[in-house]
């Protein structure tokens, strides 16, 4: 089983709709990262969350980390075709953040936005 | 501009051949990583290196080898022992092994296909 579970695996929305992607772990997350990937390309950094209850926003994308630091959500408001791609969460899932640089990733969420 | 460069973008391998994927960074990052991406499985760690002349196996190291002779370079060799090498390979680097505070910068990836 995955140490980081993302849901949904895929999402199709109409332009202008809001959407949420979730990233869940049974372990405490140390340094939770959200990345976006266009098919066949590298990952682009979106946001990083560290503290329980933390929330960050950039343009129309908001990411939150719950108080227990075991779940994060990525929310897109008024989606646009430019938001389409694969969204991945990554985190250090070892106790005390002792993975020595190794990030574990979720399986990704494929987002399609229809104009 | 600083960045991380992977080459080639597309690579074709015949059965029984070894192939080497290049990864170069000019970000002065200490740590470098190789991940493999397959549809629906997210990113899986192959090898990582936190310092020159030192590297460790990740979760799926069998059939792969690496070297870290220079800080800037972390080439990955896919050997004939890797039974299912067709995948998208991503190289990443980070300032240090402290991913609780620093994330990864990713290259644009190499798509390897066995023919």
pLDDT in tens, B13-72: 888 899 999 999 999 999 999 999 998 788 999 999 989 999 999 999 999 999 999 999
Round to whole Å and give the CA distance between A19 and A74: 8
How does the average pLDDT of chain A come out, rounded?
Answer: 90
Tell me the nearest-neighbour CA distance from A114 into chain B, angstroms. 22
User: Which of A45, A99, A108 minimises the CB distance to B103?
Assistant: A45
Residue pointed to by tokens 């987002």: A111
pLDDT tens digits for range B78-102: 998 888 999 999 999 988 766 656 6
B55's tokens: 């590297």
**Measured between CB atoms, does A40 come within 8 Å of chain B?**
yes
Whether the CB-CB separation of A35 and A43 falls below 8 Å is answered with yes
Residue in chain B closest to A106 (alpha carbons) equals B42
Asked if residue A22 has pLDDT above 60, the reply is: yes
Choose among B104, B79, B80, B102: nearest CA to B90.
B104
Instruction: Provide the terminal-to-terminal Cα distance of chain B, rounded to the nearest Å.
Output: 36
String of b and e for A25-45 (b: at least 16 CB within 10 Å)?
Answer: beebbbbbbbbbbeeebbbee
Task: Give the whole-angstrom CA distance, residue B103 versus residue A103.
Answer: 9
> Which site among B42, B57, B92 would you substitute to test the A interface, given the most A Cβ atoms closer than 10 Å to its Cβ?
B42
3-class DSSP state for residue A83? Answer: helix
Between CA B12 and CA A10 the distance in angstroms is: 29
In angstroms, the CA B30 to CA B115 distance is 35
Rounded to the nearest angstrom, the minimum Cα separation between B107 and chain A is: 6
pLDDT, tens digit, for every residue of A61-107? 999 999 888 999 999 999 999 999 999 999 887 655 555 667 889 99
**Which pLDDT value is given to residue A51?**
87
């Amino acid at each position: 089983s995955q140490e980081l579970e993302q849901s949904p695996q895929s999402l199709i929305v109409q332009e202008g709709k809001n959407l949420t992607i979730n990233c869940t772990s049974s372990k405490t997350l140390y340094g939770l990262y959200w990345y976006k990937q266009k098919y066949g390309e590298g990952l682009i950094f979106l946001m990083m969350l560290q503290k329980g209850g933390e929330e960050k926003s950039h343009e129309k994308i908001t990411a939150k980390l719950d108080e227990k630091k075991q779940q994060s959500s990525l929310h897109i408001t008024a989606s646009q075709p430019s938001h389409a791609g694969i969204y991945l969460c990554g985190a250090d899932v070892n106790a005390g953040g002792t993975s020595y640089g190794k990030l574990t990733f979720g399986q990704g969420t494929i987002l399609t936005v229809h104009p | 501009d600083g960045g991380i460069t992977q080459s080639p973008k597309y690579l074709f391998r015949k059965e029984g051949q070894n192939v080497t994927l290049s990864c170069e960074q000019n970000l002065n990052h200490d740590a470098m990583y190789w991940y493999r991406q397959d549809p629906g499985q997210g990113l899986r760690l192959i090898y990582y290196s936190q310092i020159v002349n030192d590297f460790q196996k990740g979760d799926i190291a069998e059939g792969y080898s690496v070297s870290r002779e220079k800080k800037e370079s972390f080439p990955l060799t896919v050997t004939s022992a890797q039974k299912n090498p067709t995948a998208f390979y991503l190289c990443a680097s980070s300032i240090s092994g402290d991913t609780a505070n620093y994330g990864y910068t990713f290259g644009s990836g190499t798509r390897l296909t066995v023919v």
